[in-house]
Amino acid sequence: KGSPRQFFKKKNLITKTHDNRNNTGARNHRRVKYYLVMDIEATCEEGSNFVGMEQEIIEMSFVLLNAQTLNIDDTLQVYVRPTENPTLSLFCRKLTGINQAHVEQAPILLDALPQIDEWLQLHSLLPCSGLQTLSENSSWPYKFALVTDGGRDPVSFVAIECKRKGVPMPSYYKRWVNLEYHFCKTFNVEFANMDGMLKHFNLQFEGAKHSGITDARNLARCTIEIIRHVISGRGSSTTQWPLTLNDGVGRGRFAKKNSTIFVLAQTQEWTQVFLELQRIRSNQTMLN
């Protein structure tokens, strides 16, 4: 089967960067006013391990974190109605706390994404539409940056479902702050998840796990602590953007001790890339 590098190299999907100077997201970033911490919940079946199945988004939740004050200025929770498998499994309902009535009364993905645009417009963070062109070498045009705990939510949920259903995807989903990667680089560990990050900061998880809005709130707490740590080490202000855009759609991340592999967006083989990354990550020792 070969190594991860051989897999990506064969697919013409990889480029290796040794530091942020070669990272498009870091090189072309601008200061942002907000970090938009995101979490997504999707359809699931017991025993599937979430790999190989075509999941559909059923909740998109966001926490609007002020980059200067580090206060949470607003939150948004949007339920989404699945169309391919409209009936939620018992396992999915128990895991996420989302019941059938929640999704039956919700908009489909095509109509849910504009609701998020409208919310961002209310905060003067989106001029008119998020559907503008954003090329690989473009500078970041927004006053906010998405933050996720890795790459799964924007890649395997938003990008893949939009591609599969022919739904236009707003360009601000194309790049994001991979908080796991920043944590690993900052604290010199090879892998971390949200529970591990919370434990590192002596914080307890608050609320019900696998609720999108609850997960987003807890991830925002991790974001705040990482920013505070970076700022204290640099002796600088939050306006210098301590968390850079270090990941993007189609740029799945596999972190090794001394290198980072980015998967290029133009091939659009997101599903293959995600499944391979999932296999690789399952073999790694998680931070407990």
Catalytic residue among 102, 123, 200, 210: 210
CA angle (174, 177, 179) in 5-degree steps: 140
More confident residue, 163 or 27: 163
> Is the Cα dihedral 226, 232, 233, 235 positive or negative?
positive
Share of the chain above pLDDT 90, in %: 39
Higher pLDDT, 179 or 242: 179
Counts for the chain of helices (H) and strands (E), in that order: 11, 9
User: What b/e sequence results for 218-235 when a residue is b if at least 16 CB atoms lie within 10 Å of its CB, and e otherwise?
Assistant: bbbbbbbbbbebbeeeee
Kindly state the average pLDDT of the residues 163-179: 88
Percent of the chain beyond pLDDT 70? 65
Q: How far is CA 19 from the centre of its chain?
A: 21
214 compared with 238, residue with greater pLDDT: 214
Could you confirm whether 59 is annotated as catalytic?
no
Per-residue pLDDT, 17: 30
In the set 29, 41, 161, 276, the catalytic residue is: 41
Residue 33 DSSP SS3: coil
Instruction: Check whether 87 has a pLDDT greater than 60.
Output: yes
Interval 136-163: pLDDT, tens: 556 778 889 999 987 778 877 888 899 8
CA distance 136 to 144: 18
Q: Under a CB-based contact definition with an 8 Å cutoff, are residues 175 and 245 in contact?
A: yes
Considering only residues 190 and 51, tell me which one the structure prediction assigns the higher pLDDT. Answer: 190
Sign of the alpha-carbon torsion through 154, 157, 158, 160 = positive
Does 64 have pLDDT greater than 80? yes
123 catalytic, yes or no? no
pTM equals 0.75
Given a contact cutoff of 8 angstroms between Cβ atoms, the answer to whether 23 and 176 are in contact is: no
Strand partners, 74: 64
Decide if pLDDT at 249 tops 50: yes
Please spell the DSSP secondary structure of 80-132, one letter per residue.
---SSS-SPPHHHHHHH---HHHHHTSPPHHHHHHHHHHHHHHTT--SS-S--
Q: At what angle do helices 212-234 and 179-187 cross, to 10 degrees?
A: 40
Return the sign of the alpha-carbon dihedral for residues 94, 99, 100, 106: negative
